[in-house]
Amino acid sequence: MRIVRLRKNDISAVYELYSDMLYRLALSHLQNSEDAMDAVQDVFLKYTEASPEFKDDNHKKAWLIRTTVNRCYDMLRHKKIRNHYSLDEISEFSHYEDIPRDGEDVFSMLSSLPVKLRTVMTLHYLEGFSVEEVAKQLVITESAVKMRLKRGRELLQGLLKEVD
Amino acid sequence: MFNEKQTNAYKNITAPMELRERVLNTEKQPTVSGKTSSLKVIRNITTLAACVCLIVAVGFGLNSNKSFTVSMNGTNLSQEAMPLSTARASYSVAAANEKELLEIPLEITLSGEADVTANGGTIQNYSSENGKTSVVWLIDADCEETYTLEIKSGKDSCTVMLIFNNAENLWKISCTNK
């Protein structure tokens, strides 16, 4: 017997469309470009091997985002990477390579948040997805998204006041 | 929340070329290469658990339809579901969000060519010798309770089903020929 075909999707096109966004998303969670690359690579590997079927491009995008976020959560758990840091500790960060200073500031701010708040803050405020879209991507209710955004804003404002 | 400069700086971050090469090279290889070491350790443990269960499973009936034969370590799979693992309890951490990783070694006996498709997980490490093809079906069992692997050759096909039995709290595997 010879296996003649393992079902696969066209990964190249999907990579070109979504890799930057997924990499930024992973970077905002893992705070390290090497780990972010590992996470995104795993997502594309899963995409290639599992060949999930999608209703449309939005469904595909949501799957990729959700899988990336879940992979980041897994990596944070398995590697026992801490979920959040105080702003004092953040100044010690030097994991970002080839990222402009303003971008570094964003990641530093995000890293002070618990990981689930970080996810919705990144998707909504930085990637520009609506509350409804974030809810669909993460398979949570819109009110849960709104609550996490509110809590994320409050935490960030509180932390920034502390620093001042 | 973030000022325009910060948002633009964030949006200007692009995936490194190294990632592109890694992802597109992965596409050409049928094996998993980018997993973390901790996942490999868990997988090894899962493999061991699967092997133990296979020994227990010897003695279940043979498949009545002989067009395909699918076996795990010498035990033919049949329509009668047999337990894959009795170690669900050992994955109690998995219930609190971690994935349950299943590694299922299958041996397919069939003359001719076949098309193998799984609805979840990955198929890897396939090798062929004396009409027998060995594949390893790896599954991150994180949400679904049913996984299928379909083997098609001409008009014949068979479906290997992996189902989590909530009542017995274990995975069961079966094979149905069509």
B48: nearest Cα among B93, B124, B102? B102
Helix, strand or coil, per DSSP, at residue B131: coil
Taking CA atoms, B152 is separated from A6, A24, A137, B62, in Å, by 11, 40, 34, 20
Helix, strand or coil, per DSSP, at residue A136: helix
Cβ of B112 and A1 within 8 Å? yes
DSSP B6: H
More confident: A128 or A104: A128
From B40, which residue of chain A is nearest by alpha-carbon distance? A78
> Is domain A11-163 in CATH 1.10.10.60, yes or no?
no
What is the model's pLDDT at position A128? 93
What is the model's pLDDT at position B67? 63
Confidence of residue A61 (pLDDT cuts 50, 70, 90): very high
Confidence of residue A162 (pLDDT cuts 50, 70, 90): low
Give domain status of residue B28, yes or no.
no
Give domain status of residue B157, yes or no.
yes
Which structural domain, as residue segments, surrounds residue B60? Answer: 36-177
Tens-digit pLDDT profile for residues A2-28 = 343 334 446 788 898 999 999 999 999
User: In the structure encoding, which two tokens stand for residue A23, read together?
Assistant: 């990499």
Taking CA atoms, B135 is separated from A96, A110, B74, B106, B139, in Å, by 40, 43, 13, 5, 13
What is the model's pLDDT at position B109? 81
Tens-digit pLDDT profile for residues A66-109 = 999 999 998 888 765 444 444 444 444 444 555 556 667 778 88
Q: What is the spatial distance between Cα B85 and Cα B102, in angstroms, rounded to a whole number? A: 9
Ranges under pLDDT 70 in chain B: 26-67, 85-101, 125-126, 140-144
Which residue has tokens 């001409």?
B154
CA A110, chain centre distance (Å): 11
Q: Which residues of A fall within a CB distance of 8 Å from B133?
A: 1-3
Cβ of A23 and B142 within 8 Å? no
Q: What is the spatial distance between Cα B141 and Cα B48, in angstroms, rounded to a whole number? A: 17
DSSP A100: -
What is the model's pLDDT at position A121? 94
User: In the structure encoding, which two tokens stand for residue A69, read together?
Assistant: 């976020």
Number of domains in chain B: 1
B44: nearest Cα among B115, B113, B108, B136? B136
Q: Does the beta carbon of B25 lie under 8 angstroms from any beta carbon of chain A? A: no
Q: Which of A4, A11, A23 sits opposite B19 (nearest CB)?
A: A23
Q: Does the beta carbon of B30 lie under 8 angstroms from any beta carbon of chain A? A: yes
Give domain status of residue B122, yes or no.
yes
Rg (CA), chain A: 17
Give domain status of residue B12, yes or no.
no
Taking CA atoms, B167 is separated from B101, B163, B171, B175, in Å, by 20, 12, 11, 21
Amino acid identity, position B46 = T
Check: complex ipTM more than 0.90: no
Cβ of A6 and B142 within 8 Å? no
What is the model's pLDDT at position B153? 78
What are the respective helix, strand and coil percentages of chain A, to the nearest 5?
70, 5, 25
What is the model's pLDDT at position A87? 46
Number of helices (H), then strands (E), in chain A:
8, 1
Contact B159, B117 (CB under 8 A): no
Helix, strand or coil, per DSSP, at residue A130: coil
